[in-house]
C-alpha cells in the first residue's frame, strides 16, 4: 500500500511539473526594494547626515524625522530640508518618504 501511494505521488508530481514555472524564472520576476534613512535635518531632528550619503542602490529614502508636538501636530525642520538631495533622489526614481516621530 505504501509503495502504491509513493508511486501515485510521483506520477502526480510529474504530471504537474510541466505546468509549474521554474524557480529561476520566478526569482527573476521578483523585485527588491532597499530603503535607507537619511538623517540630514538639524540636531533636534536627527542631524547625522550633512551630505547626500544615501547609497545609490537605495530605492526608497526615508527622511528622518518630523517631530510630533504635544497637540498632535507635526513639525519639520524646513530650514534644513535637503532640497538638492531630494531633487536628485526623485530624478533617479527613488521614492521619498517622511518618518514622523522616529
- Determine, yes or no, domain membership for 13: no
pTM: 0.62
Number of compact structural domains in the chain: 1
Q: Is 7 inside a domain boundary? A: no
> Could you report the per-residue pLDDT of 65-92, keeping only the tens digit for each?
888 889 989 888 888 888 899 999 999 9
Give the SS3 label for residue 21: coil
Provide the residue range defining the domain that includes 45: 31-100
Beta-sheet strands, E only, within 46-94 = 60-68, 74-75
53, part of any domain: yes
Q: Which residues pair with 83 in a beta bridge?
A: none
Asked if the structure places residue 47 within a domain, the reply is yes
CA 52 to chain centre: 18
Handedness of CA 50, 63, 86, 77 (dihedral sign): negative
Amino acid at each position: 500500500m505504501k509503495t502504491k501511494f509513493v508511486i501515485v505521488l510521483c506520477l502526480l508530481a510529474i504530471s504537474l511539473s510541466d505546468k509549474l514555472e521554474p524557480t529561476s524564472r520566478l526569482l527573476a520576476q521578483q523585485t527588491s526594494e532597499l530603503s535607507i534613512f537619511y538623517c540630514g535635518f538639524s540636531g533636534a531632528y536627527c542631524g547625522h547626515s550633512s551630505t547626500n550619503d544615501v547609497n545609490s542602490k537605495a530605492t526608497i529614502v526615508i527622511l528622518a524625522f518630523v517631530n510630533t508636538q504635544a497637540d498632535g501636530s507635526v513639525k519639520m525642520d524646513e530650514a534644513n530640508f535637503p532640497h538638492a538631495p531630494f531633487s536628485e533622489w526623485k530624478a533617479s526614481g527613488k521614492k521619498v518618504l517622511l518618518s514622523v516621530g522616529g
